[in-house]
Amino acid sequence: MLSKGDTYSEAQEPAHAEFKDAHNLVLAALAKSGGGEVFVLDGPAAKSTLALLKAGVPRSRVRVANRHGATLGAIRGLTALPAAQLAGAAAAEALRPGGAFGDVAFSALYLDACGQSPGPLVDMIEAAFDREAMPARVALGFSLLGGGQDVADREMAVVRAAATAGRKHGMVVRHVGDEPGEFGVVLENKVHDGTLTCWLCLDKVVC
């Protein structure tokens, strides 16, 4: 499959492009307020990374993974990210201990450009939270493709995985979409054209 190159397409109808841009703004707002390290999966147009930089997130705080060298080259050319902040690997591989970013405790992650199955997302989340310690708040966004009647069940599987991973660090899950104003974001549409994007915040419980 890698020999075919990156199959992610930036060609999107205007309404879907607006949907993706809106969620990149959510990412940027949550990442900027969190103040920590940020992980994204990005395509050759580097839209998520550029949204972070435009919002004022320091370039030094951004890490990107993509298995395709040509895509990483395009991202680097558009964003000027150092090579050390770009991983030529699948996200779970880059995030798990021993991976390119295995020693980074991220305060924001956007697991976009994902498929229909919750399995890879669960693997990414488990890898990202396999740390000695995590920040007091972690913002987590993820996308599921395909729509369908089972999309709610697939979303629930990912949310449960996040809750389980966070519980090990004394964290509880909140849905950003339930109270977007409290998180300083505008979040109007969760689903568009078969793509569901969900935002969570995991907070450490203070006793």
The per-residue pLDDT for 79 is 98
What pLDDT was estimated at residue 9? Answer: 53
Task: Render pLDDT for 29-85 as a digit per residue (tens, 0 to 9).
Answer: 999 999 999 999 999 999 999 999 999 999 999 999 999 999 999 999 999 999 999
pTM: 0.92
Residues 6+ apart with CB under 8 A from 86: 63, 64, 65, 66, 72, 75, 76
Strands of the chain, DSSP E: 37-41, 62-65, 86-87, 106-111, 137-145, 171-175, 191-192, 195-204
Q: Which residues of the chain have pLDDT under 70?
A: 1-12, 113, 207
Domain 23-204, architecture per CATH:
3-Layer(aba) Sandwich (3.40)
Burial label for 123, CB within 10 Å (0-12, 13-18, 19+), is middle
Q: Are strands 191-192 and 37-41 parallel, antiparallel or unpaired?
A: unpaired
Residues whose CB falls within 8 Å of the CB of residue 105, separated by 6 or more in sequence, listed in order: 36, 37, 131, 133, 134, 135
Per-residue model confidence (pLDDT) at position 10: 57
- Rounded CA-CA distance 21/109 in Å is 16
pLDDT (0 to 100) of residue 12: 61
Q: pLDDT at position 44, please?
A: 95
Report the pLDDT value the prediction gives residue 207, as an integer from 0 to 100.
Answer: 60
Position 2 scores a pLDDT of: 45
